[in-house]
């Protein structure tokens, strides 16, 4: 199995508001950046989307070291949140609907394709690759905002 490193980040200019995501894929000396944006979204959705799209970009099953600065995403796996939510009919411990269920379900499908080692990195702390994906995610969110000329209030309409 190929060994790949995937570094991800999501950004949101308002929460909710225009958001962006980015994933840097590295295999040996080869790198590929994938990124995108979404209107009327949240930071957590963009963090999830970055991981989903990064894994989706891999054409075959891989051993993946996945670096993310989102405790929300990593805790979903490391702390067993995802398994508990599914066992509870997609309800939280407080019996409320799980936010972003659609993305968690898609992320689970992508995760099943690979062997993943989850690694948390502190955001905005000088980690070169984390800074690169942060810049790209923000660039995507800003480009969307500027292209559409909308504000957070517009996103909710």
Q: Is 47 a catalytic residue?
A: yes
CA 18 to CA 40: how far, in whole Å? 5
Q: Which of 14, 38, 69, 106 is catalytic?
A: 69
Q: Is 10 a catalytic residue?
A: yes
Contacts of 92 (CB under 8 A, 6+ apart): 85, 98
Q: Are strands 62-68 and 115-120 parallel, antiparallel or unpaired?
A: parallel
CA 36 to CA 66: how far, in whole Å? 19
Q: Which of 47, 106, 136, 155 is catalytic?
A: 47
Q: Is 124 a catalytic residue?
A: yes
Q: Which of 38, 106, 134, 136 is catalytic?
A: 134
Name which of 21, 11, 84 is nearest 56 in CA terms: 21
CA 29 to CA 33: how far, in whole Å? 13
Q: Which of 10, 20, 36, 54 is catalytic?
A: 10
Check if the beta carbon of residue 110 is closer than 8 Å to that of residue 52.
Answer: yes
Q: Which of 124, 126, 128, 149 is catalytic?
A: 124
Catalytic positions, please?
A: 9-10, 47, 69, 124, 134
């Amino acid at each position: 199995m190929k060994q790949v490193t995937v570094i991800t980040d999501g950004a949101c200019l308002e929460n909710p508001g225009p958001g962006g995501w980015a994933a840097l894929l590295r295999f040996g000396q080869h790198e590929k950046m994938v990124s995108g944006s979404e209107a009327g979204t949240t930071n957590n959705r963009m963090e999830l989307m970055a991981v989903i799209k990064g894994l989706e970009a891999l054409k075959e099953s891989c051993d993946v070291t996945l670096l993310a600065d989102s405790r929300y995403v990593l805790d979903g796996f490391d702390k067993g949140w995802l398994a508990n939510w599914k066992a509870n009919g997609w309800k939280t411990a407080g019996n409320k609907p799980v936010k972003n269920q659609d993305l968690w379900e898609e992320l689970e499908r992508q995760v099943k394709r690979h062997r993943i080692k989850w690694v948390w990195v502190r955001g905005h702390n000088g980690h070169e690759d984390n800074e690169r994906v942060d810049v790209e995610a923000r660039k995507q969110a800003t480009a969307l905002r500027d292209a559409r000329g909308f504000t957070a209030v517009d996103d909710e309409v």
